Amino acid sequence: MNARRRLPALVVPSLLAAAALLLAWGCGGAGPERIARVRAQYEARLNGFVVRDLPAEGEAPPRQEVLLDILVRRNGKEALSGLTLDLSVAGPGGTEKARRQLWVDTSGIGKGVEAQLAVTVADLDYQPGDGFHVEVRHPIPAAERGAYREFGAAP
């Protein structure tokens, strides 16, 4: 009779310990591995761009800003409130001239939905014939995650 009473007393703590282990292993929580997994469920592509020449202000020379038309798609159940995209600028010969990171708000993008986002980038030395490429880089090495806001980097 004593053995029957001890069995439930041992099973409940064992089940609780197993559940805690599963949560710590990555089935929940907001750790960097979960964020990397959710990031991998996003796609981004450039839909087009417009270069605007801005007039000189005072003694400052004229500037340019580039308006990027970006399509972002979320394929997974879980969502991020924002996402860091990698932007590459290449010259006419295909050689990369510059690389930037862009933060975009993805809070309103539902599962399976592709959203059109407009992002303005200043201080790029655009020349006719240059091209742009946007991507959700994956995987992000642990040593570089500090530069990506969704991993907890400062804005």
pLDDT tens digit sequence for 120-155: 999 888 999 999 999 999 999 999 999 999 998 655
In this predicted structure, what is the pLDDT of residue 23? 47
pTM: 0.77
Domain residues of the chain, as ranges?
Answer: 30-151
In this predicted structure, what is the pLDDT of residue 16? 53
In this predicted structure, what is the pLDDT of residue 143? 94
Report, as an integer, the average pLDDT of 90-116.
96
pLDDT tens digit sequence for 64-85: 999 999 999 999 999 999 999 9
In this predicted structure, what is the pLDDT of residue 14? 59
Domain 30-151 has CATH 2.60.40: yes
Burial (CB count <10 Å: 0-12, 13-18, 19+), residue 100: middle
pLDDT tens digit sequence for 108-117: 999 999 999 9
Query: Percent of the chain having pLDDT more than 70?
Result: 79
